[in-house]
Structure 1
Amino acid sequence: MDDILYFKFSNENFAARMLRLLSWPILCAMLVVLTSCSDFDREFTVQSASSTVEVYTDGTAFVSEFFDIAVKKTENYGGVYVDIPQRFTDASNGVHWRDFELVAARRDGLDEYYFKENNVPGYSIYIGKEHCKHCPADLSPGVTKIQIVYWLGRLVHQESDREVLSLPAYMSRVHGQGAKKTLTLKLPRGGTLRPSQQDPAAYEVMQKAPNEFVVSIAAGKGDRVLPDIEVEYPARTFVTVTSGNRVRWWLSDHLLLFISILGPFLTGLFVITRSGQGWRLPAPSIAVDSKMMESISPALAAYLFSNWKSEAAKAAFMASACHLAVKKMLRISSLGENAEASDLSARQVRKKGKVARARWYGLPAVTRLVFGQIEKERPADGRRKILYALYGFERELHKAVVAEYHKARGGIDRGALATAVTILLLGVAIAYFSGLLLFSAAICGILLISAVIVIAFLHPERVSWPTDFRQAFGLFVGVPALMIFALVYICTTEVISEQQPYLLAILLNIAGIVIIPRVARMATPKQRQMRNSVLRLDGYLRGELDGPAMSVECYERYLPFAVALDVEHCWTERFNLWRESQKMQAYVPDWRIIS
């Protein structure tokens, strides 16, 4: 709870920065994406498809596929997506990946521009020039022929004393459309087609020669779920796989699953570790930790004692003024609300030499800040009302105290930062390899914009609104439009069953990135020890716990803390009793203003 206060102030302008960052660039990017959208069914029709697959004895296959595409509109996207399957399940329900290497992408016999995108079953390869709706299209109305040539590997797996060649029945498809398709399979001799895999309702297989099969697939969308074609061979028909390849293949088969589990695992490990540190209390003590109190300013002690309530500002300010007086930087008339300050000598002290400057800069930063605020107050008869200087200064005082408290953490939490960055990279890798990169980006965009809106609504004082038309247009038009576009994209994009576990892993990674900073802001053992030290000091000042022996030096040393904890009367009474027991004359400190 304590460190949440630091988060609030360190992110004071977070909403403003994010709103400015998201406004204009997001609008421009959104317009580009919107203009590049297309409706494939309205622009193209896949009339037919034919494939030739030649399998070699090293377990690889050379594939050449042709798609006859009818272009129906003059204005079109300018290219098509070809989906290549890589993932398959063998007879023993083992999941494997086929190696893939693209050789060529052609249109009407000529090499064409292309790029690859990942998805869970394999790759989506775009062939053609990217264009917006109103740009000249590369594909003229009529029939055009798209060709894709590639290598497939890892097609053979071992089953007891046999080797089984597994080939996807449909090889690839264009935009999910199921057109009439013919596959010519040229296989090594000696193979036997598994009868159990022949499904007349799905496809028809004819054997034209001992080593050649023709697979005919009727038009329709059923080709998305066709069973693989499996051919049995005697052992040692294909080249023996080395142990190194087996290890590489196993790692490749389980990589996506491994990185999907790793993100939530790291999050849980971080939470358990840090929570354990937070619950671990320091060793109990019945005495004041003098060394620890030397590292705490009276202002910080006031906030720690009040559990960071805003009412602590007055006690923190007065305690700092008392600290300045005890250190001979000024003189004060009393410790009450009507206290006045005079003889502000810190400026002269800083000019006296190295030792004097060391004494000044040895004070806590928040104490020096309070002196500067008192110094700004206009004097009357050489005196300044101390609490007048507090008005309007509460927020800066709180920030300075929080900065001191945060400094006890030791600066940047490198462990939390490294864990969050690792989980972020894992999430990006999962999204990339599963084909959910844009989908995940849309989810993150919605979550980020929603968080900024909530912060702006709950804390409008932290938002600096746009000052020119471009920023205002980007903020009030671009950001809502981006939200709508992201929602439409999420609602209209299909997440297939194989992608759903990885989408869940991505969402868990996003949750981990949100959780880790919050857990990292939990009070560290040192910060908990600081608060416990302040509580023990309160007991000492009241006479309930043991501590340093009373003396004038001890009284003045802890007087600012007594003011911070609102026990200065009790502490002064204890001092007076001690003074009487020591038969000491009246105590008149030189830092008090004598009327």
Structure 2
Amino acid sequence: MSSRKMLALVAVLLSLLVCSFVQPSFANRSERILDFQSWIQVHRDGSMSVTENIKVICAQQQIKRGIYRDFPTKYKDRYGNAVKVGFEVVSVLRDTNSEPYHIKDLSNSKRVYIGHKNVFLKPGIYTYTISYKTSRQLGFFEDFDELYWNVTGNGWNFVIEKVEAVVELPQWAEVLQSAGYTGRYGSKGKDYSTGFDEQGNITFTTTRSLMPKEGLTIAVAWPKGIVVEPTTMEKLGYMWKDNQSAAVAAFGFLILTFFYVLTWFKVGKDPEEGAIIPLFLPPKWVSPALARLIMRVGSSDDKLFAVAVVNMAVKGFLTIKEEDDNVFTLKRTGAGEERLSGGESKIARKLFGSKNKIKLKKTNHSKIGGAKEELQKCLMKAARNKYFDLNSGCFVMGLVITGLTLAVVILGAANLGLAVFMTVWLSIWTFGCFALGATVISAWRGFAAPGGGIKAVNTAGAMGITLFALPFFAGELFGLWAFSSAVSPLAAVTIVVIISINALFYHLLKAPTLAGRKLMDEIGGFKLYLSVAEKERLNILNPPERTPELFEKYLPYALALDVENEWSEQFAEVLAAASKDGGYRPTWYTGNTWRSWNMAGFASSLGTSLPGAISSSSTAPGSSSGSGGGGSSGGGGGGGGGGGW
């Protein structure tokens, strides 16, 4: 072999030997970012141009085809509303040559994959240059404007050996103050230095390597008036565009309100009230319970049933015994059945059947609930459409508008699964909370009513039910917070307002008929007689003589019209005198609440304790649930992170 061939062979062997040492040197090194340079230009119109040079070591571990870079485009403002910033890729290079890329939408960001899925990189050092434009990243404050920018993002899985950021402000913009933060999200590390380059641009340079999930965040402020601040109308436009679910909810609210107001003017407006003249007799054939239902324009409650029970007692059909633990026992006397109204007769059959007495306890909830339902059906049959119109069809149309609005809001939610779940959960939970709230209010009314505070059980009961209800109310607030986080606070608040509008117009759409208005005027005249306390005025009107019998006779009407205290006060002296003379007390009532010297207390207690007992005993057990310098690393705009693919 000639010497020339020998030299050539040696050269080849040496080359292979060198390659064998050099190639593994990259393969054996851990992948990392050697240098992360960011050039940030702030424009007068408030937009920004950013160029990032990212030098990486590829060892075919995570970086196989190239790298990816995440850019957050959706944020939450301090009120929890969505803010969507602009983002547009201008160019992507690898070692100064154009490189293919594609963009994938994530839940709150865009991911730019750099490289081709079928092209794998050789181990080595590569520099990626990403240029992009973004907008709505600046903060406009009272005394200055500011860029608060996460340069690297805190989502990288690689060590970043060095970071340098240069901020180029518009001409004549002076840096008023600046700050920087290094470390993991929320950290306030100061491992950086600042300076100015030859063009006067402020620079930030890290003084140590950043570990995985660490980053650099900067803040730079300049005088106001250099960058154009969005107008109020532009900000509102951004807000509605970013929070489309709230815009839909607001649109639904406007349609619903317009529909209800228009409908109310057409069918829900009450006929004009006539002159109210004191009357000493109730309208013929109008029982106390029917009088209450008509005056409440079809709204039923537990007191409606209590009024009927007291009226049955006054007629001699039954007696009421109140025990110390607020348990009432109703006992049939065997008399007075012929004097009962149609609704009262149905109550009697449902309550007693073949028995003579019944306790108002949960064990009898089926009978008591059935009796309440029968009474309401009977009264509604007698009064609906004749004396008032509920306009239910119009209300159902309002519910349809509400349902469609809610459906569109939910479908546009950022977290669809959570929005659907919380809607179903709140629909059930809120109903229970309303029922529980009504019970709490009723309990405290019984405590605050004259005579109600005498019994310690009233206080203990009101306190107990309140403490029991607090966790459920807290759960309601948590549910509303979770729902608002799924759709946006603005949308959630608007939905709550829409539901409140429905509740309001449920009552407003109810309207008396002309015949009903006339009857309400008559009942109002009788109520005036029951409630007026001025003796001189009543003497002029020549009212009936006050007697214990008259007090008992019209007590059910006073309870029905919520003037039991006023009616009782008119008879305080008469009943006290009768009690002294013959030991007067009503034959139909037994209990500690009766005191002839405190008739207001007796009547008020009867008007609150009895409905409360009825409410509790008519519900099935278990039917309700029992169960600068203020920043940090990772803050501001920009950010994200990246990795290899």
What range is the shorter-chain TM-score in?
0.3 to 0.5
- TM-score, normalised to structure 2, is 0.35
Higher relative contact order (CA 8 A, sep 6+): 2
The structure with the largest alpha-carbon Rg is 2
Q: TM-score scaled to structure 1, two decimals? A: 0.37
